Amino acid sequence: MTQRVLVTAGGNGIGLAVTRAFAATGARVHVADIAQDAVARAVEAEGVTGSVTDVADAGSVDALFADLRRELGGLDVLVNNAGIAGPTAPVDELAFADWRAVVDVNLHGTFMVTQRAIPLLKESDAGSIITMSSVAGRFGYPNRIAYSSTKWALVGFAKTLAMELGRFGITSNTIHPGAVAGERIDRVLRGRAEQEGTSLEEQRAAALANQSVKAFTDPADIAALAVFLAGPHGRSISGQALPIDGDSKSTV
Residue 24's nearest CA partner among 47, 41, 1 is 47
Determine the Cα–Cα distance for residues 51 and 63; give it in Å rounded to an integer.
Answer: 8
48-52: strand order across its sheet = 48-52, 28-33, 4-8, 77-80, 128-132, 171-177, 241-244
Q: At what angle do helices 145-165 and 96-103 cross, to 10 degrees?
A: 30
Burial zone of 115 (CB within 10 Å; 0-12 exposed, 13-18 middle, 19+ buried):
exposed
Determine contact, residues 2/26, Cβ cutoff 8 Å: yes
Determine contact, residues 32/82, Cβ cutoff 8 Å: yes
Q: What is the pLDDT of residues 55-94, one digit of tens each?
A: 999 999 999 999 999 999 999 999 999 999 999 899 999 9
Supply the pLDDT for residue 193.
Answer: 79
What is the CB-side half-sphere exposure of residue 154 using CA atoms within 13 A? 39
Supply the pLDDT for residue 186.
Answer: 82
Residue 129's nearest CA partner among 67, 68, 175 is 175
- pTM, 2 dp: 0.95
Cα-based torsion angle of the residue sequence 210, 214, 217, 222 in order, rounded to the nearest 10 degrees: -90
Supply the pLDDT for residue 107.
Answer: 98
The third-level CATH classification (topology) of the domain covering 4-178+217-243 is Rossmann fold (3.40.50)
Determine contact, residues 218/13, Cβ cutoff 8 Å: no
Supply the pLDDT for residue 73.
Answer: 98
Supply the pLDDT for residue 7.
Answer: 98
Q: CB under 8 Å to 162, separation ≥6 — which residues?
A: 171, 172, 173, 238, 239
Give the distance between the most distant pair of CA atoms in the chain: 56
Q: CB under 8 Å to 130, separation ≥6 — which residues?
A: 77, 78, 79, 80, 172, 173, 174, 175, 226, 229, 230
Domain positions in the chain are: 4-178+217-243, 180-216
Mean pLDDT by 10 residues, the chain (252 residues): 96 96 98 98 95 98 98 98 93 97 98 98 98 96 94 98 98 95 80 81 87 93 98 98 94 76
Query: Active-site residue numbers?
Result: 147
Supply the pLDDT for residue 185.
Answer: 83
Determine the Cα–Cα distance for residues 138 and 243; give it in Å rounded to an integer.
Answer: 9
